[in-house]
Amino acid sequence: MGTEKITPMEPKYPSASKTVMTDLVLPSDTNPINNLFGGELLARMDRAACIAAERHSEQVVVTASVNHVHFRKPVPLGSLLTLEAKVSRAFGTSMEVFIDVWKEEHEKRAKEKVNEAIYTFVAVSKDGIPVAVPPIVPETALEQERYDGALRRRQLSLILAGKLKPEDATELKALFS
């Protein structure tokens, strides 16, 4: 009486969330020295990562945190920019998403990695309340490596957001012991 059964969700693979977006860098996307504007890249990554998180969770998602962005190389006007986003780990209601970015410059047309970023999304109901997401099972060596590091990155992000005390970040502390 009154005991509600919670059915565990079927785990999914990172490949189920894989999202690839290719687009041009146009004049309105650039800074005064004709390279892609950082904020434009952040927005494109947010869009690709959002789709990946929605594919994994099959829910509406919101960006909870931008955990890491590394602008390694400039992306000139006229380049083709390809973004690949995949969920690397799912927790209760949140998901870590990796975004890898490559450019193909107008004259060269060889793909070169320019950027990597890690965002966190939370699946929410229509009222914006966090809802549970399926677990994830890594398949490749890179997926496993990203999965393994996700708990540390989550703890760091929660400390920075003031939601976790540093002394409770056991995984993170283990890195330095």
Q: Closest CB to ligand COA among 17 and 79?
A: 17
- Of 24 and 43, the one with the shorter C-beta distance to ligand COA is 43
CB of 149 to ligand COA, least distance (A): 14
Contact status, residue 146 vs residue 153, Cβ threshold 8 Å: no
Closest CA to 96 of 107, 85, 104: 85
Contacts with ligand COA by CB under 6 A lie at 62-65, 91-94, 120, 122, 124, 128, 130, 154, 157-158, 161, 163
**62 vs 137 by CB, closer to ligand COA:** 62
- CB 140, min distance to ligand COA, A: 23
Angle at 35 between CA 111 and CA 68, to 5 degrees: 70
Find the shortest distance in angstroms from Cβ 141 to ligand COA.
25
For residue 154, the minimal CB distance to ligand COA (Å) is 6
What the block records as the tokens of 127 is 């009222």
- Cβ proximity to ligand COA: between 30 and 93 the closer is 93
In terms of C-beta density within 10 A (0-12 exposed, 13-18 middle, 19 or more buried), how is residue 159 classed? middle
Q: What is the rounded distance in angstroms from the CA atom of residue 12 to the CA atom of residue 10?
A: 7
